[in-house]
């Protein structure tokens, strides 16, 4: 069984743990170690099973707890050098990765894929284990060709659906921040997420999780309704976190 434990997903923090045959890898640590530890416990994740911490990019909602988590679990941080040097993690074990160069940890094969975001060298990850393929792709203004190709072949797609344009345009953010969010180095809107899913439909059954929803510029119902209407996917087949502290377990 290949499991994805989504412990947090959004601007307040991001953390996902992939588990395959009792071995685990954490992707991002945007929560405190205390909060991460509590959520792991409530989701039945043995901390000793986590063998590495992968980082997508250096923004605080993805790395705030990276140093404490890596030190407490005595695991290496794995990411490209640009991301590592831009992150203030303190003293940690570090294992360098390279974009588009696959590597294996905890029996899971990962390929870091380039994304388009206002960060040094941001990555999405394609994870493969047990004959299943899982894409984790958030914080990207557009889908790069490698990410789109991965989305087309994934069994599980954890894909950003960050904002509703009407809510963004009429929300509290200043104009410069709104423009950044909707730019090619910002975030995927609900519509852009839906269009990407529609473009990459291949006739295979694919589990879809709408990730990194903005707390101020989106709602779970808005994201699901938009993606459902534009893709023809039933709302009940579109999952996402519903509230702060909510978690989810997906299985491939």
User: For each successive 10 residues of the chain (252 residues), what is the average pLDDT?
Assistant: 97 96 98 97 97 98 98 98 97 98 98 98 98 98 98 98 98 97 98 98 91 97 98 96 96 96
* Superfamily of domain 2-251 in the CATH hierarchy: Ribonuclease Z/Hydroxyacylglutathione hydrolase-like (3.60.15.10)
Answer whether 0.95 is exceeded by the pTM: yes
Q: How is the chain split into domains, by residue range?
A: 2-251
CA 161 → CA 74, 101, 199, 240, distances in Å? Answer: 33, 26, 15, 10
Q: Tell me which residue of 165, 133, 147 sits closest to 4, measured CA to CA.
A: 133
**109 strand-pairing partners:** 104, 128
> What pLDDT, on the 0 to 100 scale, is given for residue 113?
99
| Cα gap 135→50, rounded to integer Å | 19
Both tokens assigned to 92: 């940690």
């Amino acid at each position: 069984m290949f499991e994805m434990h989504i412990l947090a997903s959004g601007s307040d923090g991001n953390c996902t743990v992939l588990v395959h045959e009792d071995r685990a890898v954490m992707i991002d640590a945007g929560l405190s170690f205390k909060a991460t530890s509590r959520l792991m416990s409530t989701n039945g994740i043995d901390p000793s099973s986590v063998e590495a911490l992968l980082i997508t990019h250096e923004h605080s909602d993805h790395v705030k707890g990276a140093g404490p988590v890596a030190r407490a679990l005595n695991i290496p941080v794995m990411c490209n050098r640009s991301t590592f040097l831009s992150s203030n993690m303190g003293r940690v074990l570090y294992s360098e990765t390279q974009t588009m160069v696959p590597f294996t940890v905890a029996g899971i094969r990962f390929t870091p894929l380039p994304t388009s975001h206002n960060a040094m060298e941001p990555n999405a990850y394609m994870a493969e284990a047990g004959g299943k393929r899982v894409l984790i792709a958030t914080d990207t203004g557009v889908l790069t060709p490698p990410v789109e190709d991965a989305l087309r072949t994934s069994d599980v797609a954890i894909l950003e659906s960050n904002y509703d344009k009407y809510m963004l345009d009429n929300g509290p953010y200043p104009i410069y921040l709104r423009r950044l969010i909707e730019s090619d180095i910002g975030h995927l809107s609900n519509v852009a997420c839906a269009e990407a899913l529609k473009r990459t439909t291949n006739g295979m059954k694919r589990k879809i999780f709408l990730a990194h929803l903005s707390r101020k510029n989106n709602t779970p119902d808005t994201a699901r309704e938009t993606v459902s209407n534009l893709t023809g996917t039933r709302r009940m087949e579109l999952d996402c976190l519903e509230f702060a502290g909510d978690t989810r377990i997906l299985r491939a």
